[in-house]
Each structure stands twice: as C-alpha cells, then as structure tokens.
Amino acid sequence: MLITEILSRNGRMYADEIALIERDPLTHSRREISWRTFDAQANCFANALLAHGVTKGDRVLHLMMNSLEWLPSYFGIIRSGAIVAPLNFRFEAEIIQTCNEIVKAKVLLFGVEFVERVNAIKNALDGTIEHYIYIGPESDCPEYAITYADFVRDMAPALPAVSFDLMDEAALYFTSGTTGQPKAVSLSHRNLEHACYVENQHHRQSHEDNFLCIPPLYHTGAKMHWFGNFVVGAKAVLLKGARPEWILEAISEEQATIVWLLVPWAHDILIAWESGDIDFSRYKLDQWRLMHIGAQPVPPNLIKAWRKLFPHHEYDTNYGLTESTGPGCIHLGLGNTHKIGSIGKPGFDWEASIVDENLQRLPTGELGELIVKGPGVMRGYHDNPEATAETIRDGWLHTGDIAREDEDGFIWLVDRKKDLIITGGENVSPVEVEHFLMEHRHVQDVAVIGTPDQRLGEVVTAIIQLKPGCDLTEQEVTLFVEQLPRYKRPRRILFDEVPRNATGKIEKPKLRERYGIMLSA
C-alpha cells in the first residue's frame, strides 16, 4: 500500500482521533490535528500544487523546521505526483543552492527561519524555482513569495486523480554532507512503504502507542521511525527541543510509549539524573515501554546506565543509511541486551554480508565492509550514475562501514572505512577508543580522530567533552587509557566541545580541519 493510501485509510478509520501533536516548550504552546484534518490538508496542498502547474515528476524543495505543517505538506507534495526533497535545516545558503542545482526544483516551500538564506540565493534559484511558498507570520513573508494559507485557499480537500506505480520516484533525500558535498538519494514509493513495515515489525507498534519524535523530520531516521506508528494509525508528538526536562514533560503529559533518542540526549538525561537536577518522581513514565537509539555507534556503558534508571524499558538500536531508506536494515532487536554494543542482525526482509575487497564473504570474526540488500535499497543517486554504480553492485548496497560478525550472527560495527586511523602501520578503530573513554565517569562526550604525525603518519587524538562541573587532566586520561594496547592509546588529548550534527553524528571533518591543521602547523 502506498504511504499516501495509508494516510487516506487513517483519515477514514480514525477520522476524529489525534494524529499529530506539536509541543513548543519555549513558547509553552501545544497544537494538534486529527487524521481527517491531516489527510485533508495533504489533499489541499497537492491540489494547490497541481493548480499552479506542478506536474508528475517535478521536484519540490521542502525546507522547514519540525512543525504541525511539516508532514501534511510532505504528503501533499507526493500526492501531487511531484518529488519531495526535504532539506537539512542546517544547510547554509550555498549548500541549499547546490542542492537545487542537483535536483532543479520547480517549487520551494520554506519556513520563516530560512528567509535570510533564501534571500541570499534567490537570483540563483530563479533559474528553476517558479513558486516560493512561505510558512510563518504573514508580516515576514518576502514579496516574492506566497503564504501557505493563500496558496491553499479555496482548494478542495478531495484526493487528486494522480496515479502511481510502486517503483515510481517519490522523494529525494540529501546525504548529511559530513563526508563532503551532499548527494541526492532517490527513493521510490516502494522504499517508503517498506520502511513502514520494517519499523512496525521491529518495534511492534499498535494503534494505542504514542511516538515522541524529537529529531528533525528531514532526516530519514526520524520519519521512518514514525512510520511504524503511522502504518497503524497511532498518534505522535513532535517536540521542538531536546532538553531533558522537556523530553520528560512531553512523555509524562502526552503519555508517550516510544521514544527515539540520539546519544547526546540520552547522556543529558542520565547526567540530570546523576546530578539530581531533575526530580524524576514528578513525571508519569510507567507507560514508556521502548527507548531506541541510533544514527551513530552507541556506547555500551550508556545503555548499562540507562537500564539502571529505567529497568522496565525495552531497548533497541538501529543501523541504517539514507541510501537504505533510513534505519532498520540492521537492528539489535528487542530482548537482545546481552549483545549491547552490537548493531544486531539483518532487519525485516533484509540481507547482510561482510565482504573483502574482492566482494567475497568473510569468515566469522574477520573485518570487512558491511553490505546490505533488500526492498529499502535506494533507486540510486539522482543524476549521478557513476556514484550509483560504485555504491550499488548486483543489488547490494555498499555501506562503507567496516564490521565483523560474531559466532551468533550479530554484527559489530568497527568504523567508517575512511575513519580508520593508521598509526605506525597499525589500524585503530576510533569507535573502540571512544567507547573506552566514555567509561570514565567525568566524560560526557568524546571524539577520536587521526591527526598528522611525521614519524607515525597519524596518531590517535582524543577530543574530550567533560560533564558540567567535572575536571580531568591530560595526565589522568593517560593513566586511564593504560588498559588499552599501546598503539590504541591517544597520543594527543584535547578538551573541547564535541560537534555533532542534527542527527547526532560527530562532525569529524570539522575536527580534522580544526586540529589536523593546528597540530601540523
């Protein structure tokens, strides 16, 4: 069933039930819409696009912060037959321009937060963009744009008469850009449909569940986890902010049952608990049944600490890529906490293999590249056949991640192939060293990179972010890491904030640029 058809069904079966709730702790506001309203708003936006000359296959850039309008407009674009291209809200004006040069969009939908960025590149965008649709206070609407309210005014809430095939292109998602310029990942209707069933199979959502969504919806991880609730007509809460007290308030007041957290947010909750800054007894949390986490390697000590605070929680971690339609091609699975640290086994309807440079499957325990195969594999990179051919071979998606498989079939992620540190001829996995350093009680976050060294080529360098109010010296860290083999021990220890992007991934290119240049000068 197409995801647009799932929305139509929800609009019929659960018409007056709550579909989405938006909470903004900064303004103390709360809004909600029903499934009937969600469905109708998507139809109105689709019909408005069609009335303004959008035809099947046209591209629409979608640049918004999480809000109650995000998902109805997303579904409206797809229902019109156009291809939706959500943009990372952290993209600077030049990257937005680059994204448009790649996909050549006809329409740009943007929120008030992005007016200055759009203004800066409008002349360049005018080469393809015919309609600028603005969401926000009417007084801030640029003269070249039309407000969302005016755009959909007088449009019928009837389903547009646009037909689709499962293999038709539905969306273009841009890679995060942490490894260079973003590429546009082409996803089909089948890819999106499969993501619904993968998530629901893994986390067993029922119509009674309530999913708390905090990460940005432009990212496949957030949306595809929500898909597990969506496919059974269960409601969700969009929380605009990630402070521990805001998360706990939302879970308590909305009676959320499922929460997907990024590693930094889980750390913040644990720190608030350890420090006594938050009185957990103030919140009603008994109904919270599942905490799952992903988007980056998860330190095992974090989950051990979490289970002390929330012993009744089911726990899962998910692995995936934009190119695999988000999370779930590998997942730990409920009940497998004895394998904490592993990313798990192939997900629902997925295959996985660990191969050498000749694409031969490797024996248990040996390190190689993780490749996956299943209905979630992307159609390809938009207008980039060379990169597509390099990434998809014989139907297998090459992840670029180094992993090993244990005797029970669980896969353990070692690191990105490009992130391995080669020091004096020895390979060092940054993730392994990061996990070890996270065991120190004063460490809040850590990133490990290789920095230039005249003698060894690279040396292991640790950037350590301390917990608030805690002190740690370079000498103390040096003593702590003596349990590691000598070649894995950080030779350089720096104390600084660890930069992460909106999906929680460490921005290692920034650190390499900052410290690689500094230390080699």
Average pLDDT over residues 443-469: 86
Mean pLDDT value across the chain: 91
pLDDT band per the 50, 70, 90 thresholds, residue 416: low
Residue pLDDT, tens place only, 18-54: 999 999 999 999 999 999 999 999 999 999 999 999 9
How much is the pLDDT for 297?
Answer: 65
* Torsion on CA atoms 416, 417, 418, 424, rounded to nearest 10: 110
User: Band of the pLDDT at 179, cuts 50, 70, 90?
Assistant: very low
What integer pLDDT is reported at residue 454 of this predicted model?
A: 66
Q: How many CB atoms lie within 10 A of CB 175?
A: 17
Strands in 457-466's sheet, in edge-to-edge order, are 443-453, 457-466, 492-495
Q: How confident is residue 171, by pLDDT bands cut at 50, 70 and 90?
A: very high
Going through 333-442 in order, the beta strands assigned E by DSSP cover 345-346, 351-355, 368-373, 380-381, 392-393, 396-405, 411-416, 421-423, 426-428
**What confidence score (pLDDT) does residue 156 get?**
94
Q: Is the pLDDT of residue 425 over 80?
A: no
Taking the C-alpha atoms of 503, 505, 507 and 509 in order, what is their torsion angle to the nearest 10 degrees? -120
pLDDT (tens digit, 9 = 90+) per residue, 83-142?
999 998 888 899 999 999 999 999 999 999 999 999 999 999 999 999 999 999 999 999
Asked if pLDDT for residue 456 goes beyond 80, the answer is no
Residue 420's contacts (CB-CB under 8 Å, 6 or more residues apart) are 402, 414, 427, 428, 429, 430
Report pLDDT for 404. 92
Q: Does the pLDDT of residue 57 top 90, yes or no?
A: yes
Q: What is the pLDDT of residue 394?
A: 94
Coil vs helix vs strand at 152: helix
Percent of the residues in the chain that have a pLDDT greater than 70, as a whole number? 95
Per-residue pLDDT band at 510 (split at 50, 70, 90): confident
Closest CA to 174 of 501, 404, 464: 501
- Please list, in sequence order, all residues whose beta carbon lies within 8 angstroms of the beta carbon of residue 390, skipping any fewer than 6 positions away: 398
Using 50, 70 and 90 to split pLDDT, how confident is the model at 417?
A: low
Percent of the chain scoring above 90 in pLDDT: 71
pLDDT in tens, 302-347: 888 898 999 999 999 888 989 999 889 999 999 888 888 889 999 9
Q: Between helices 220-230 and 3-13, what is the axis angle to 10°? A: 40
Alpha-carbon distance of 237 to 84, in angstroms, equals 22
Residue 435, pLDDT > 90, answer: no
- From the CB of residue 246, how many other CB atoms can be counted at a distance below 10 Å? 17
- The pLDDT assigned to 485 comes to 81
Q: Confidence band (pLDDT; 50, 70, 90) for 178?
A: very low
For the record, the structure tokens of 156 come out as: 């019928």
pLDDT tens track for 346-395: 999 999 999 998 999 999 999 899 999 999 999 999 999 999 999 999 99
Q: Which domains does the chain have, with CATH numbers?
A: 3-192 (3.40.50.12780), 420-520 (3.30.300.30)
Q: Higher pLDDT residue, 285 or 430?
A: 285
The answer on pLDDT for 478 being more than 70 is: yes
Question: In terms of DSSP bridges, do strands 210-213 and 235-239 run parallel, antiparallel, or are they unpaired?
Answer: parallel
* CB crowding 54-87: b at 16 or more within 10 Å, else e: beeebbbbbbbbbbbbbbbbbbbbbbbbbbbbbb
Q: Is the model's pLDDT at 263 over the cut of 50?
A: yes
CA proximity to 190, closest of 169, 167, 173, 171: 167
Specify the pLDDT at position 56. 96
Least confident of 370-374, 416-420, 421-425, 512-516: 416-420
Instruction: Return the top range by mean pLDDT from 7-21, 431-445, 493-507.
Output: 7-21
pLDDT category, 423, cuts 50, 70, 90? Answer: confident
Query: What separation in angstroms does the CA of 377 have from each of 4, 86, 332, 360, 380?
Result: 20, 19, 19, 20, 8
Q: How far is CA 26 from the centre of its chain?
A: 23
Largest CA distance in the chain: 71
Q: Is the pLDDT of residue 495 over 90?
A: yes
| Terminal Cα-to-Cα distance of the chain (whole angstroms) | 58
Going by pLDDT thresholds of 50, 70 and 90, the confidence category of residue 432 is: confident
